[in-house]
Structure 1
Amino acid sequence: MYSNIIITGTGSAIPNRIVKNTDFKNHVFLNEDGSLFEKENSEIIEKFNAITGIEERRYAEDHVNTSDLATQASVEAIKSSKIDKEELDLIIVAHNFGDIKKGSIQGDMLPSLATRVKNKLGIENPNCVAYDILFGCPGWVQAMIQANQAIKAGDAKKVLIIGAETLSRVVDDSDRDSMIFADGAGATILELKKEDKERGILSTAAQTYAIEEAGYLYSGPSYNQNLDQDVNYIKMLGRKIYEFALTKVPAAIKVAMDKRGLEIDDISKIFLHQANEKMDEAIVKRLYREYRKPVKKNVMPMSIQKLGNNSVATVPILYDMVLRNQLEGHSVEINDIVVFASVGAGMNINAITYKL
């Protein structure tokens, strides 16, 4: 008998509010020094779409917070797993900014989002421990790694893992990068099961680069110098992140694969953080190059075109969509081996190999 640690339920919360690229046509985009950006907005938007692949993104309604989206996704995951919520031993919520009420300049992390989710779910069991993890965009993958470790250690049997974010409330409207970010939540139930065949989480890998890389994503003032310069927004060095991800992410995925002696032909799907379409395509191409193989057709599902980059939520949402046959041309079957991988603020990288 194998002690398998498997995903038994998934769920998503995708906001209804659609923001198209054309909605940015009247934005005033500025350079870092506050000067007016030279190009016309139509040209900015066209180039943005060509690089990122993003056509539209989702923003939460004004009355909805990150913990609300996290709870909605959790309800779906618990329902699909067919477990009793009171059986949960652990709730881990990956996020980066807490609950940010519309119009607020301060993130609210007290109590933790995991505590808020437990409260909203109405879970009474005091032995269900709830905590948050801050790990940049790779937060959900890292929370899965932590849940896997907790189960292996005998500290849990059933864990709820959530990635949730409302990045639309921490962006600088005058910064072109604001068009990348979006809102949403994805959740999974991870369980220990005694089974005749091995499946579930096969291997993991994680790394943090924190010398010059620590500042690739950071909090900084608005480019609009007429606004309060003591209020910070999410900022990033896009070219630096691209170059970093292109070399480091394939290497981290390979570390996870090598731990189980997996070859690239063994992998059916790669669920990669939805940061930038061109960057993700380059990462996968570089990974296949490591094995001297051409990229497998349809190996990488993508949701960024319609959902944008909702940080910690991208990978669990993507997986949930494929399981529910919501991405045309993409599906998974029993015995398929897939990869979950991400990169983001830290700079952090991680990967999981998983057999259905």
Structure 2
Amino acid sequence: MEKQRRAVISGTGSYIPDHVISGQHFMDAAFFENGTRLDKTNAEIIQKFSDITDIVERRYVQQGQVNSDIAVIAAREAIKDAAIDPETLDYIIFAHNFGDMRPGGNRIDQLPALAAKVKEQLGIRNPDCIGYDILFGCPGWVQGAIQARYYIESGDASRVLVIGSETLSRIIDPHDRDSMIFSDGAGAVIFEATEDGATGILSHRAQTYAVDYAGLLTMGKSSFPLDPSDNYYMKMNGRKLYEFAVTTVPGVVKQALDKAGVHITDVRMVLIHQANGKMDQAIMKRLFKLYGLDDMPEKLTPMTISWLGNSSVATIPTLLDLVRRGKVEGYRVTGGDLVVFASVGAGMHINAFVHRF
């Protein structure tokens, strides 16, 4: 096999908040839609939501934590796992959507960039370690990995830290039932250069559908018609987003696999953005249909959505870290395994990459 410089995953870390939010947390909420309070009981609303999404619990950060704080925790774990000196990092790429937000407010702090805050907290003095943020919706961490691939394959970098971290609990509307889907968390991954000719990122594919679909995830006023604040909250068209993802994501994943010259049956695992359990299952079924296959392996798509919820950019790197550490029952990554990473989110963006461990 001809040797080629590639970006290989060498270390992972994550931070899962210990503040567990069950459905009971929303029993006293007042849910509205189109200015009218929903006429079902909260118990019915919560149960229906769980049936649709598979989400039973989610995690929120503690009052004193902000996004960059939990990102540092995940980053330290990844650096330790990779057994590297952080001063040797060439880039720190931080994927998020809402910066640092304090509890009780809605203001976004992105000055300086969160990557610079992480670099400061890690104590990295090397000025040649470049830190910057990317805003790419939920697929932000995957896009950061794609950028790391470019840096490493071009010879511009040998080690890149890619972080996905978010505190969505600070930007959700308590009067919007869709807010029950979102959670907080952080994941971090070290990519290093390899020239062994076998491992690392083999291919990727990304697309943006802005003209017709940018409005599926936006910022807007509270669902509560008498909300006295001027705050804007994250809003989504859940049904249309579901249809968009199921229709478009399978094709992008297949294109990434085709570029790598591998078949879906060669894949050991698919790590897909934990957005909605039912949606992810539908995406995978549609993907196999593209290959003319009706059945797929049972242990192909590890899921954490039921107990971690949707932490946006953090879902995939957190899932990867848990799998590598043997914390997702029935799933393991070993040398030679082909793993696909895929995501979809605000923009609307879709992306995927194929990696051999």
> For the superposition of Structure 1 and Structure 2, which TM-score range results when normalised by the shorter chain?
over 0.9
Distance (whole Å) between structure 2 residues aligned to residue 270 and residue 288 of structure 1: 12
Q: 290-299 or 248-257: which moved more?
A: 290-299
Deviation at 1:295, TM superposition (A): 1.5
Residue 226 of structure 1 and its aligned partner are, at CA, apart by: 2.2
| 1:69-115 alpha-carbon deviations (Å, 9 max, x no partner) | 11000000000000000000000000000000111221000000000
Whole-Å separation in 1 of the counterparts to 2:229 and 2:284: 39
Report the AA paired with residue 290 of structure 1: L
- Provide the secondary structure at the position in 2 that maps to 1:73: helix
1:48 aligns with 2:55: no
- Number of residue-to-residue matches in the alignment: 354
For 2:109 and 2:228, the matched residues in 1 are separated by 20
8 Å CA contact 2:207–2:351 kept in 1: the answer is: yes
Does 2:40 correspond to 1:22?
A: no
Deviations 1:155-194 (A, max 9, x none): 1110000000000000000000110000000000000023
What is aligned with 1:205? 205
Q: Does 1:68 align with 2:69?
A: yes
Residue 280 of structure 2 corresponds to 280
Aligned to 1:250: 250
The equivalent residue for 1:86 is 87
Q: Which residue of 1 aligns with 2:114?
A: 113
1:219 is matched with 219
Q: Is the 8 A contact 2:277 2:305 kept in 1?
A: yes
Gap runs ≥5 in structure 1: none
Question: Residue by residue, what CA displacement relative to the aligned partner does 1:96-148 show, whole Å, maximum 9, x if unpaired?
Answer: 00000111221000000000000000000000000000000000000000111
* Structure 1 stretch displaced more, 296-305 or 130-139: 296-305
User: Whole-Å Cα distance in 2 between the matches of residues 263 and 228 of structure 1?
Assistant: 55
Tell me the distance in 1 between the aligned counterparts of 2:301 and 2:338.
Answer: 13
AA at the equivalent of 2:232: N
Looking at structure 2, the residues matched to 229 and 208 of structure 1 have their Cα atoms a distance apart, in angstroms, of 33
TM-score (norm 1): 0.98
Q: Which amino acid aligns with 1:9?
A: G
Q: What is the rounded CA distance, in whole Å, between the counterparts of 1:41 and 1:66 in structure 2?
A: 30
TM-score by length of 2: 0.98
Separation (CA, whole Å) in 1 of partners of 2:18 and 2:63: 11
Deviates more, 1:124-133 or 1:40-49: 40-49
Instruction: Output the amino acid matched with 2:7.
Output: I
Q: Provide the rounded CA distance (Å) in 2 between the counterparts of 1:189 and 1:159.
A: 6
Stretch moving more, 15-24 or 162-171: 15-24
Q: Which residue of 2 aligns with 1:324?
A: 325
State the partner residue of 1:299. Answer: 300
Amino acid at match of 2:226: N
**Alignment partner of 1:28: what SS?**
coil
Alignment root-mean-square deviation, CA: 0.9
Report if the CA contact (8 A) 2:271-2:340 is conserved.
yes
SS in 1 for 2:32: coil
Secondary structure of the 2:33 match is: coil
- 1:310 matched to 2:311? The reply is yes
C-alpha distance in structure 2 between counterparts of 1:273 and 1:298, whole Å: 16
Gaps of 5+ in 2: none
For residues 32 and 86 of structure 1, the distance between their equivalents in structure 2, rounded to whole angstroms, comes to 52
- Report the residue type matching 1:204 in the other structure: H
Partner of 2:5: helix, strand, or coil? strand
Cα separation, 2, equivalents of 1:349 and 1:4:
22
2:178 paired residue number? 177
Q: Whole-Å Cα distance in 2 between the matches of residues 158 and 10 of structure 1? A: 13
Runs of 4+ in 1 over 4 A off after TM superposition: none
Q: CA deviation at 1:297?
A: 1.1
The AA in structure 2 aligned to 1:59 is Y
Distance 2:173 2:141 in 1: 25
More off after superposition, 55-64 vs 221-230: 221-230
Secondary structure of the residue that 1:43 maps to in structure 2? Answer: helix
- Rounded to whole Å, the distance in 1 between the matches of 2:66 and 2:341 is 26
Distance across 2 between alignment mates of 1:194 and 1:299:
28
Q: Distance in 2 between the 1:194 and 1:154 partners? A: 11
Q: Structure 1 residue 292: deviation in Å?
A: 1.5
Match for residue 153 of structure 2? 152
Q: Secondary structure in 2 aligned to 1:131?
A: strand
> SS where residue 37 of structure 2 aligns?
coil
d(CA) in 1 for partners of 2:101, 2:218: 18
What letter is aligned with 2:348? M
